[in-house]
């Protein structure tokens, strides 16, 4: 490579490093809650992701619980963890943990000694200012969209979305009772259920920046068009179900609803999903939908194929659909959907740690197929703040590498590449989730 080439690499990299990221998706606790936790390298870093790889590698769930327990001695936990750590060190999830440990806590490699030292340093940092240090200073993130079931979030760091899955995934009488308590109003008919949903939107619409749908964890994303009459029949059957209650030996209440099968419940669930989409569109709220790989172990990937959602894209043209996780492994399907439909957006949250290689390959493909205003290149999708740092670092590296390749093969000029990087990591998310704020450059 010529001197000029190296110079170019420097300019793009530097531009990407300096972008104040708009992070489309996190599950972080509020800082005041995080700093009350007992932190150590296992209980803090293994609530998800690497823990699922440990199970996939053969670890028993009971062992995982022991490793996560901050009250057990670190040495015992290390001894259980070490043989499996060796097995999962090749994955993206493990790599993210190593980046966080190295860059934030100065730990080069995990061992019995260093996991004790890392935990000591984590405890030392676990105080007010932790989020400013990691999210703002180290990660360069301006704001993170937070999926945490609450709206009273620290607005210095977060803007919330809210889930409406509880209004949709109705299968047992029990689900209606939970909703009644949540909405603080009786729900005795389909009309009352719809009214409660409308009121929930009115209550939340000015506090949230979007709607989150995580239903692909428990059902197919195929939502057919059912009529009010079909949905009402299912509602009335559900409402007539009996809920048996008794007190168990420990004083806890055991409830055993009769429940409907998924096939029986589907017309009502589908009907309510259409209502949620229509209301989100009416109130100008983008809809974040989980598609592709489900976190954890042993789920049905075919449930989460984004192609199932096509009828919703066609029917609700005024709605905006933010499809999560690059729909991995349905990368090509998402390319086609986002290319075809003006209301479908590609969201790469979680993707850079699932596989950095897939993230780069997919981004390269999307940059050739999907308009540059519809690709959102970063959402950390972590429950612990250290993970967000590592993920943001990988995301910046991937965006820079893909754009650099396209400069070198003559697809983009350097100026175009820098412009796109700002769109991918910042402006597209601002446009989609904060349209009224106008674009804030920087």
Task: Answer for the pair 224, 270: CB distance below 8 angstroms, yes or no.
Answer: yes
Determine the Cα–Cα distance for residues 124 and 116; give it in Å rounded to an integer. 12
Task: Answer for the pair 260, 171: CB distance below 8 angstroms, yes or no.
Answer: yes
**Residue 231's Cα: distance from chain center in Å?**
30
Q: In what order do the strands lie in the sheet with 141-146?
A: 21-26, 141-146, 158-160
Q: For Zn ion, which is the closer residue by CB, 25 or 401?
A: 25
Q: For Zn ion, which is the closer residue by CB, 15 or 162?
A: 162
Task: Give the shortest CB-147-to-Zn ion separation in angstroms.
Answer: 6
Task: Give the shortest CB-216-to-Zn ion separation in angstroms.
Answer: 11
Q: For Zn ion, which is the closer residue by CB, 173 or 325?
A: 325
Q: For Zn ion, which is the closer residue by CB, 144 or 428?
A: 144
- Measuring CA to CA, which residue among 157, 155, 173, 175 is closest to residue 165? 175
Task: Give the shortest CB-153-to-Zn ion separation in angstroms.
Answer: 15
- Measuring CA to CA, which residue among 396, 440, 430, 379 is closest to residue 103? 396
Q: For Zn ion, which is the closer residue by CB, 290 or 360?
A: 290
Q: For Zn ion, which is the closer residue by CB, 333 or 381?
A: 381
Task: Answer for the pair 355, 103: CB distance below 8 angstroms, yes or no.
Answer: no
- Measuring CA to CA, which residue among 95, 122, 110, 159 is closest to residue 34? 122
Task: Answer for the pair 365, 331: CB distance below 8 angstroms, yes or no.
Answer: yes
Task: Give the shortest CB-362-to-Zn ion separation in angstroms.
Answer: 18
**Residue 338's Cα: distance from chain center in Å?**
19
- Length of the chain as a residue count: 442
Dihedrals φ, ψ of 145, to 5°? -80, 125
Task: Answer for the pair 410, 403: CB distance below 8 angstroms, yes or no.
Answer: no
Q: For Zn ion, which is the closer residue by CB, 200 or 381?
A: 381
Q: For Zn ion, which is the closer residue by CB, 27 or 171?
A: 27
Q: For Zn ion, which is the closer residue by CB, 49 or 223?
A: 49
Task: Give the shortest CB-293-to-Zn ion separation in angstroms.
Answer: 11
Task: Give the shortest CB-74-to-Zn ion separation in angstroms.
Answer: 29
Neighbours of 80 (CB within 10 A): 18
- Chain positions contacting Zn ion, by CB under 5 A: 381
Task: Give the shortest CB-49-to-Zn ion separation in angstroms.
Answer: 11
Residue 77 corresponds to which tokens in the numbers above?
A: 């936990």
Task: Give the shortest CB-283-to-Zn ion separation in angstroms.
Answer: 22
Q: Which residue is nearest to Zn ion (CB)?
A: 381
Determine the Cα–Cα distance for residues 372 and 405; give it in Å rounded to an integer. 17
Task: Give the shortest CB-296-to-Zn ion separation in angstroms.
Answer: 12
- Would you call 169 helix, strand, or coil by DSSP? coil
């Amino acid at each position: 490579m010529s001197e000029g080439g190296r110079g170019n690499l420097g300019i793009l990299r530097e531009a990407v490093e300096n972008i104040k990221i708009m992070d489309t998706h996190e599950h972080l606790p509020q800082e005041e809650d995080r700093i009350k936790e007992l932190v150590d390298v296992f209980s803090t870093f293994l609530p998800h992701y690497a823990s699922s790889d440990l199970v996939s590698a053969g670890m028993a769930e009971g062992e995982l619980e022991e490793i996560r327990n901050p009250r057990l001695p670190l040495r015992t936990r290390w001894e259980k963890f070490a043989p499996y750590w060796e097995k999962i060190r090749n994955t993206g999830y493990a790599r993210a943990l190593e980046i966080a440990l190295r860059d934030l806590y100065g730990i080069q490699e995990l061992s019995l000694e260093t996991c004790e030292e890392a935990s000591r340093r984590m405890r030392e940092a676990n105080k007010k200012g932790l989020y400013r240090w990691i999210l703002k200073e180290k990660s360069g993130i301006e704001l993170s969209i937070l999926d945490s079931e609450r709206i009273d979030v620290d607005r210095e760091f977060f803007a919330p979305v809210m889930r409406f899955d509880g209004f949709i995934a109705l299968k047992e009488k029990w689900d209606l009772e939970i909703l009644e308590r949540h909405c603080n109003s009786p729900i005795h008919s389909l009309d009352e259920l719809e009214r409660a949903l409308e009121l929930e939107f009115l209550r939340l619409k000015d506090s949230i920046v979007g709607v989150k749908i995580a239903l692909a964890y428990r059902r197919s994303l195929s939502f057919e068009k059912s009529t009010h009459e079909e949905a009402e029949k299912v509602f009335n059957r559900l409402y007539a179900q009996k809920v048996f209650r008794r007190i168990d030996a420990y004083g806890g209440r055991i409830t055993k609803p009769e429940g409907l099968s998924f096939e029986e419940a589907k017309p009502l669930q589908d009907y309510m999903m259409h209502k949620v989409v229509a209301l989100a569109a009416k109130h100008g709220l983008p809809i974040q939908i989980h598609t592709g790989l489900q976190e954890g172990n042993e789920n049905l990937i075919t449930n989460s194929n984004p192609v199932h959602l096509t009828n919703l894209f066609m029917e609700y043209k005024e709605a905006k659909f933010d499809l999560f996780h690059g729909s991995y492994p349905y990368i090509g399907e998402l390319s086609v959907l986002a290319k075809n439909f003006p209301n479908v957006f590609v969201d790469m949250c979680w993707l850079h740690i699932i596989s950095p290689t897939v993230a780069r390959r997919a981004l390269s493909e999307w940059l050739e197929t999907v308009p540059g205003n519809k690709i959102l290149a970063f959402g950390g999708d972590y429950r612990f703040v250290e993970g967000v740092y590592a993920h943001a670092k990988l995301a910046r590296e991937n965006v820079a590498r893909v754009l650099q390749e396209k400069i070198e093969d003559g697809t983009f000029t350097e100026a175009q590449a820098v412009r796109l990087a700002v769109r991918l990591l910042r402006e597209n998310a601002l446009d989609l989730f904060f349209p009224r704020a106008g674009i804030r450059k920087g």
